[in-house]
A and B are shown apart, each in its own frame.
Chain A
Amino acid sequence: MTDQNFPSTEQFDVVVIGGGPAGLSAATQLKRQGVANVIVLEREPDAGGIPRHCGHFGFGMREFKRILTGPQYAAKLVKEALRAGVAIHTSTTVVEANEHGTLRVATKQGVRKINARRIIYATGIRETPRSARLISGCRPLGVMNTGALQSMIYLKNRKPFKHPVIVGTELVSFSAIMTCRHANIKPVAMIDELPHVTARWPSSLFPRLVGVPLHLETRLVRIIGEKQVSAVVVENAEGQRRELKCDGIILTGKFTPEASLGRSGHLAVDPATGGPVVDQYGRCSDPVYFATGNVLRPVETAGWCWNEGRQTASWVKDDLAGKLSGSEAHLRIGIKSPVIKYVVPQQISVPDLSTGMENLQLRFMQRARGELIARNASGDFMKWQLRVAPERRVLIPISDLGLTAQTHIQNNNDEIELCFKQSPQ
């Protein structure tokens, strides 16, 4: 059983903020490695994170060698954590993350202040809502993200509309189609301003397969409707506008880390990822905090985040034992190209490079082919030939950077710049 009654203790070895795949796997692994006092704080009534409301199959291959639905997967993660001896406190919200490992926590019994030697920041990711997309028009009911739709349908057996327009063609946009089908909702169209589907083939075939018209190079320009959405105005590449009748809008993807705890608090935030600035251990600007899972960046799968959580656990355990190198001296990894969306980690602590993330994780803004170049004060020192597309993971082995070379680690706050030179089409 997860627990809504908060313990009277105030001091913990590790507190994990967020009981999604990353947080649960980190906590489970810490317990298995012998760290005594580990708790997970989860603000929802149930732990499990986003998969709780992903009713479709496709989870668990990496972790359990089985194909599970999201809810089955979430339940299994919770069970494993409890079996390992992790205390999971649900309906428990971390409202402030402060220096010296102090957290302010809201529980059903009121507010508590607790303290931890290390804190794992695993609050995940969400989609960008209508407001932050600045979409023009009226503000009627029926405009929502995939996550809200999924939780209405799979957790509450309720649906908000019957004939929505789906905006976006990321992987999650196709989950939105599946979610609709589950509730007998018939999307009238799927639109994207890009000239191609963002998700990989064969997802791109899916809309046609289930009879949802796909309009590319089509932009949502205006929402119409008084109480409930009644139509949208869309615009094609030629600037022609037309109205699509619909009773709802599903705004999919455009993920953004749920990183408000750090942003409102003292942790440095990377504007590129929207998540905390971390080193190769996921260690934040305050070295008591380690971030893991999708709060690090938009966006990876549950399996990826689960694995990341496990790795983070071992680094945190090492750190508790004083075996992790300090974060005082580090190299920054800067982006010097409008084509590169982000890089994680944003800095590398030196000199010990034997543990930590194996790869730099990059994402790109657009489809491109060309050369990724690493540059330091003495010039270009490494190149990679790449073909990239939006929302596709690009991994660059950190060992490729040859960072043991003294040149790179002499000065603290040295910077490696990443540039991208596009090949002529």
Chain B
Amino acid sequence: MTLHHKQEDKPNQSKSSDKASGPMSGQVFDVVVVGAGVVGCAIARRFTLEGAQVAVVEKATDILDGASKANSAILHTGFDAPTGSVEVSCIREGYREYLEIHNNLALPLENSGAYVVAWNDNEVAALEAIVGQGHANGIADVSIIDTVELRRKEPELSQQALAAVAVPGESIIDPWSAPYAYLRQSLLNGGEVFLSCEVTGGNFDGQKWQLQTTHGTLNTRHVINCAGLYGDLLDRKILGSSDFDIKPRKGQFVVYDKAAAKLVNSIILPVPTGRTKGVVVCRTVFGNVLVGPTAEDQESRSDACTDEDALRALIASGTSKVPALENMPVTAVYAGLRPATEYKDYQIDAKPKRNWITVGGIRSTGLSGALGIARYVFKLYSDLGSKHAPVHSPKNPKAAALAQNMQRDWQRKNHGDVICHCELVTEREIQQALSGPLEARSLSGLKRQTRVTMGRCQGFYCSARLTELTEGHFDTPLSYEIGKSGRDHD
């Protein structure tokens, strides 16, 4: 088995869509993970470290193209998760492990803390129960604070705030560099990844699976379905039925200019409604402030459109909580889709007779829970009887330092040049993201890996240089040469 992922093995490199007898037909993996969202990436890492032969299969050109594309980037403690749920145990375990590994993987962590703020008397009355639930979930430092204390911590918060629950452990992280690091660690220690490769079917012979993909067949002893927004469809297609239905729930966000970071120190949470965590005002590790998400049920599993009215409502909500946001420019807007189901809890289930584990319905806490989910799933897998020798002193990849409080590449020498002025992304960072097994093959992939064009000008200044730097790298190119034969035939 190769240590590094071999380029020539990668299905998305085989331009002819040669089926069945593809380059991977000979090999039998211990585990194929379907889907490179944050959950799939964390599971690939855990199984690789435990010594299993793992392949991750992802249908998009770049990883994190589904639910994991867009979230609030909060590392939750689990203080408000349903007591006794699988979710709360995974979040707590995920939180613990993130704190343990983030230094080794050079991942950012800002322990900003959170305040669940009550804006009316009913909400004030609900605070006791929130503290109670936090304590029941094992988070001992959750407590009620009065407005004096709240104002001291958050001077720009509206005077309408009446009281709050302080949750000191809530933190902010980078929603993309973390899963990238998980998958990179898997690859560095023997795992493989197949991109632009969709699992379309499969047969189980009692011992192993033959998985059909858009680029050939994969042989594996076990399958872990981490297909996020498509988890029920995959189960239905290959197993014949699914234990749950995915009910996509959109969340839109407004991101404010970095200048707004002066206004908010922590995560300002509303008193939850039961259905969602509600609209959050929160700093990001990149130095912006975000307001969101909305919670909108929809049919489509891919439509992450934004809507002007919803965005204006978010701006109004943000401004009512932090009035000084009024004069702050909006930098970006985006939307993400939660893979919600008819159930509240995660839908993690092993099908022992078929060597299949479904990890579904990781609705709104997957970024926090991923490392814990991975351990939970590995336990289920071990219980099925598989044994491996864990990797001895595993290699640690180093994540690109993108968070504001890290030493960024532009602060070092020989970075080429600063290309994206708003986010201070260097040529060297872009070149790095355009190479290696997880090379960016779309602008959105490059954005997630480097933050290029994610700042206030949204590409006004750097698009031209970027289109040149990325030439030949993207499946959908940003531009093409003027007057060159073939494409410019008008």
Contacts and interface: CB of A to CB of B under 8 A. Distances in A.
Interface of A: 43-45, 53, 91, 93, 95, 106, 108-111, 126-127, 129-132, 134-139, 141, 144-145, 147-148, 151-153, 155-160, 162, 183-184, 186, 221-222, 227-228, 256, 258, 260, 263-264, 269, 271, 274
A139 B460 contact: no
Contacts of B413: 108-110
B490 interface: yes
A158 B460 contact: no
Interface stretch (B109-117, B276-284, B301-309): B301-309
A156 B468 contact: yes
B482 A151 contact: no
B334 A139 contact: yes
A147 to B, nearest CB: 5
A282 to B, nearest CB: 21
Interface string B12-44: 000000000000000000000000000000000
Contacts of B100: none
Interface in B303-332: 303-309, 311-312, 327, 329-332
Interface residues of B, number: 54
Given A95-B424, A158-B468, A183-B482, A136 B460 contact: no
B121 interface: no
A106 B258 contact: no
A148 B424 contact: no
Closest 6 CB pairs of A and B: A129-B458, A151-B464, A148-B463, A158-B479, A263-B259, A160-B479
Interface in B37-56: none
B333 interface: yes
Given A45-B417, A160-B467, A134 B460 contact: no
Contacts of A159: 479-480, 482, 488
Given A136-B308, A139-B334, A260-B257, A157 B481 contact: yes
A158 B257 contact: no
B258 A260 contact: yes
A144 B461 CA distance: 11
21 contacts: A44-B461, A93-B424, A108-B417, A109-B414, A111-B410, A127-B460, A132-B458, A135-B308, A156-B468, A156-B479, A157-B482, A158-B468, A159-B482, A183-B482, A227-B476, A228-B476, A258-B457, A260-B258, A260-B456, A263-B259, A264-B257
A93 B421 contact: yes
B416 interface: yes
Interface of B: 255, 257-259, 262, 303-309, 311-312, 327, 329-334, 410-418, 421-422, 424, 443, 456-461, 463-465, 467-468, 476, 478-483, 488, 490
Of A157, A221, A228, the most chain B CB neighbours within 10 A belong to A157
Contacts of B467: 152, 156, 158, 160
Contacts of A44: 461
Contacts of A183: 482
Contact of B461 (A131, A139, A147, A157): A147
Given A106-B410, A156-B464, A156-B467, 17 more contacts: A93-B421, A106-B424, A108-B413, A108-B414, A131-B255, A134-B312, A136-B305, A136-B306, A144-B460, A151-B464, A152-B463, A158-B482, A159-B480, A162-B490, A186-B490, A264-B259, A274-B329
A129 B412 contact: no
B97 to A, nearest CB: 33
A43 B334 contact: no
Contacts of B309: 136
Contacts of A109: 413-414
B329 A144 contact: no
A145 B462 CA distance: 12
Given A93-B421, A131-B458, A148-B464, A106 B411 contact: yes
B229 to A, nearest CB: 16
B463 A108 contact: no
Contacts of B461: 44, 126, 147-148
A145 B465 CA distance: 15
Nearest to A227: B476
B225 to A, nearest CB: 25
A110 B412 contact: yes
A111 B407 CA distance: 11
Of B259, B410, B464, B483, the most chain A CB neighbours within 10 A belong to B464
Contacts of B329: 132, 256, 274
Of B311, B329, B332, B488, the most chain A CB neighbours within 10 A belong to B329
Contacts of B312: 134
Of A109, A160, A271, the most chain B CB neighbours within 10 A belong to A160
